[in-house]
Copies of this chain bind each other. A is one copy, B any other.
Amino acid sequence: MTDNDPLPDSDDVMRASKTLENIAHRTPVFTSSTLDRRCQTEVFLKCENLQRVGAFKFRGAYNAVTMLSQSERDKGVITYSSGNHGQAIALTGKLTGVKTVVVVPTDAPVAKRAAATAYGAEIILHERDQMRREDVAAELQHQHGYTLIPPFNHRDVVAGQGTAVAELHQQIDSLDTIVVPCGGGGLLSGSALASRAMAPECRVIGVEPELGDDAVRSFRTGSIQTVSNPQTIADGTRTESLGSITFPIIMDKVDDMVTVTEQAIIDAVAFLLLRTKLLVEPSGALGIAALLSGAVSGSGRTGVLISGGNIDPETVKTVLTTASEH
């Protein structure tokens, strides 16, 4: 951590909650007796797959942009993301009138690129093997005076992303555990900030795919570990490592981290789809994968953060073909 990376605290999350009032959807919390029976505990699904742009990322993006100064807004913002954060920044730009630029790898799904374009973002394509997307963004930032809003390692992004769990604690009393997916750790660290402040006794557990277990190794060793381009189906968690902001918060406020296999993720997506009738992307199903596979043992009232629902039709078909049971 440096002086340029101030850590957010729970007050930042509460402030973000106010900012997002009537802007972000207050997403519903779902329950299902089948889910409870299979997870052997009382489960509350916080459905951020029903959030604007189909993911919690909208909360962080919108909060971060509204925290900028007027002169920063006038120059515009830039981000790099092939997925939900890019769409979230693009929609935020449309809602706030701020120019947005999204750096997207040429091999990103056309549908995701089209969504960002539809919201009016400028799309910059880059060849993944020629240059790091961070470097492309930095160069454009330098040229045009854009402000960079990265996908997770940013105080106001983390604070905004934490508002989903803040809302969950308002909606559901006395949760004993919350289970949260972890990629770069923005959602997990923001959730932990909110949860520690609002429900200090509630356990906070992060879940990562086994194939991209850098955060679990970081948590166990106490220093940031990396993973290189993990081929997990949970594309929202293919980040290289936790960040300078998310890591210390996770070390301080998260109770445990667990991993789940690719099969467990696939089975969780199929289960959520066919039994609860909700379309959840693989990263969004990590919490249910952890409960169904026993990586997290169900006990008491368990809040599960369903982080997003943006999954392309081919992946849905693959999941239905390869799930263990229906």
Complex Cα distance, B274 from A317, in Å, reads 12
Copies held by the complex: 2
Contacts A277-B49, A279-B277; is A317 near B321 (CB within 8 Å)? yes
Nearest neighbor of A47 in chain B, beta-carbon distance: B277
Which residues does chain B contribute within 8 Å of A131, judged by CB atoms? none
> How far apart sit A11 and B321, CA to CA, in the bound complex (Å)?
47
Interface residues of A in 233-289 (CB under 8 A from B): 270, 273-274, 276-280
* Interchain nearest-CB distance for A285 vs B (Å): 12
From A320, which residue of chain B is reached at the shortest CB distance?
B313
Q: Which of B28, B30, B277, B313 contacts A274 (CB 8 A)?
A: B313
Task: Please tell me if A199 contacts chain B, counting CB pairs below 8 Å.
Answer: no
Q: Is the interface of A mostly helix, strand, loop or mixed?
A: helix
Docked complex: A78-131 residues within 8 A CB-CB of B: 111
Report the separation of the CA atoms of residues A279 and B326 in the bound assembly, to the nearest whole angstrom: 14
Chain B minimum-CB-distance residue to A284: B277
Interface hits, A5-38 → B, CB 8 Å: 28, 30
Asked if A61 is at the interface of the complex by the 8 Å CB criterion, the answer is no
Closest residue of chain B to A275 (Cβ to Cβ) is B54
What are 13 A-to-B residue pairs whose CB atoms are below 8 Å?
A50-B277, A270-B313, A273-B279, A277-B279, A277-B280, A313-B320, A313-B321, A314-B320, A316-B316, A316-B317, A317-B317, A317-B320, A317-B321
A residues with a Cβ closer than 8 A to B are 28, 30, 49-50, 54, 111, 270, 273-274, 276-280, 309, 312-314, 316-317, 320-321, 323, 326
